[in-house]
């Protein structure tokens, strides 16, 4: 029987790749987006596919559809966008989660929450494993996103305990690839766009803070495996690439791959910006048989080609 799958935030960076993958796997996909950060051009190539349906909708309002699975990806995910409207960001995470969990309960669907490594805050444990509770500022400029996602996780596990809902929670670490928004303020898209245009590459802080970068196709594979994993495993589970880079290393790699004449300039570090971020993915390896396959150089080349296009 063909699975009917709802993807909220389906016109966004991750959502569009997920919609595409699900259709290729033979599913019928309902894509929901309010275009706060999602873009129609991300899913234009799917519009005429008979297995694809597009609904303009904001998940802070209830939605009534019949589906077998729900991937809840809707939420601004970059500091530029979530600081633009922090109240909206929190409402999308919290009220959106309540509405999607209510839908899952009504139609008895399995539901996956796209959570984030931001639930770990500025971590004092390194690398971060799922049993670490985090070090989060509840009243800072990033709190709308960090605490919104933490509250969404709480709701998911309470719906599981109280209503027996079949839930999955993925904690997504830095992900990059084609269809990233060019102006979303995320480090890979920033560096690539600046390098292609031979502009100065802006590094915040001293550039020695680290991130680990997962190519989008690898992350989507992790989503699919988690959604279809044993019902007894809800997560949370880290999905990301454990290969760690300083910002300076990443900038130099982008300059090299673009043959750019860009120079590095350094600006003050934003408030609550984490110094280190790297996932421990032992749980994903053990229970999902998942780990990233695409190395940073191959992934960056594909991303650079997209932005050049």
Query: Looking at the domain assignment, is residue 247 inside a domain?
Result: no
| Distance set, CA 63 to CA 6, 35, 159, 223, 296 (Å) | 11, 16, 18, 22, 38
Beta-carbon contacts of residue 110 (< 8 Å; ≥ 6 apart): 68, 69, 70, 104, 166, 167, 168, 227, 231
H or E segment to which residue 14 belongs: helix 13-24
Q: Which residues of the chain have pLDDT under 50?
A: none
Query: Looking at the domain assignment, is residue 229 inside a domain?
Result: yes
Do residues 7 and 22 lie in contact, with contact meaning Cβ atoms separated by under 8 Å? yes
Based on the residue annotation, tell me whether 145 is a catalytic residue of this protein.
yes
Question: 145, 159, 176, 215: which one is catalytic?
Answer: 145
Q: What is the pLDDT of residue 77?
A: 80
Do residues 139 and 83 lie in contact, with contact meaning Cβ atoms separated by under 8 Å? no
CA 142 to chain centroid: 16
The total number of structural domains that make up the chain? 1
Q: What is the pLDDT of residue 83?
A: 78
Q: What is the pLDDT of residue 185?
A: 74
Query: Looking at the domain assignment, is residue 100 inside a domain?
Result: yes
- DSSP letter at 135 equals B
Query: Looking at the domain assignment, is residue 248 inside a domain?
Result: no
Query: Looking at the domain assignment, is residue 198 inside a domain?
Result: no
Q: φ and ψ at 95, to 5 degrees?
A: -70, -35
Q: How far apart are CA 85 and CA 24, in angstroms?
A: 35
Span 93-103, pLDDT tens digits: 999 999 999 99
Q: What is the pLDDT of residue 84?
A: 82
Query: Looking at the domain assignment, is residue 209 inside a domain?
Result: no
Span 171-183, pLDDT tens digits: 999 999 999 987 7
Question: 285 in helix, strand or coil?
Answer: helix
Query: Looking at the domain assignment, is residue 230 inside a domain?
Result: yes
E-strand ranges in 73-224 read 110-116, 167-172, 175-176, 201-204, 210-212, 214-215
Q: What is the pLDDT of residue 272?
A: 60
Query: Residue 225 sits in a domain of what CATH number?
Result: 3.40.50.720
Q: What is the pLDDT of residue 216?
A: 98
Q: Which structural domain range is residue 173 located in?
A: 4-180+215-242+276-293
H or E segment to which residue 238 belongs: strand 237-239
Put simply, whether the predicted model's pTM sits higher than 0.75 gets the answer: yes
Query: Looking at the domain assignment, is residue 196 inside a domain?
Result: no
């Amino acid at each position: 029987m063909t699975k009917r799958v709802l993807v909220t935030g389906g016109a966004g960076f991750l959502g569009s790749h997920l919609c595409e993958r699900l259709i290729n796997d033979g599913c019928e996909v309902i894509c929901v987006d309010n275009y706060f950060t999602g873009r129609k051009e991300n899913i234009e190539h799917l519009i005429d596919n008979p297995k694809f349906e597009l609904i303009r909708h904001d998940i802070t309002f209830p939605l009534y559809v019949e589906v077998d699975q729900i991937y809840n990806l809707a939420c601004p995910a970059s500091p530029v966008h979530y600081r633009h409207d922090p109240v909206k960001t929190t409402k999308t995470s919290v009220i959106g989660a309540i509405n999607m969990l209510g839908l899952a309960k009504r139609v008895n669907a399995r539901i996956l929450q796209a959570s984030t490594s931001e639930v770990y805050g500025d971590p004092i444990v390194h690398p971060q494993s799922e049993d670490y509770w985090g070090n989060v500022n509840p009243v800072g400029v990033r709190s709308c996103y960090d605490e919104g996602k933490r509250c969404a996780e709480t709701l998911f596990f309470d719906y599981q305990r109280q209503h027996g809902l079949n839930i999955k929670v993925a904690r997504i670490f830095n992900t990059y690839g084609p269809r990233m928004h060019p102006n979303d303020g995320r480090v890979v898209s920033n560096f690539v766009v600046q390098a292609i245009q031979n502009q100065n590459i802006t590094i915040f802080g001293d550039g020695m803070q680290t991130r680990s970068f997962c190519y989008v196709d690898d992350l989507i594979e992790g989503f699919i495996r988690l959604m279809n994993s044993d019902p007894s495993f809800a997560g949370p589970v880290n999905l990301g690439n454990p290969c760690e880079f300083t910002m300076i290393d990443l900038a130099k790699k982008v300059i090299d791959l673009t043959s750019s004449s860009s120079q590095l300039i350094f600006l003050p570090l934003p408030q609550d910006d984490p110094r280190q971020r790297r996932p421990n993915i032992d749980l994903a390896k053990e229970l999902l048989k998942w780990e990233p396959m695409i190395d940073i150089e191959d992934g960056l080349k594909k991303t650079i080609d997209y932005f050049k296009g």
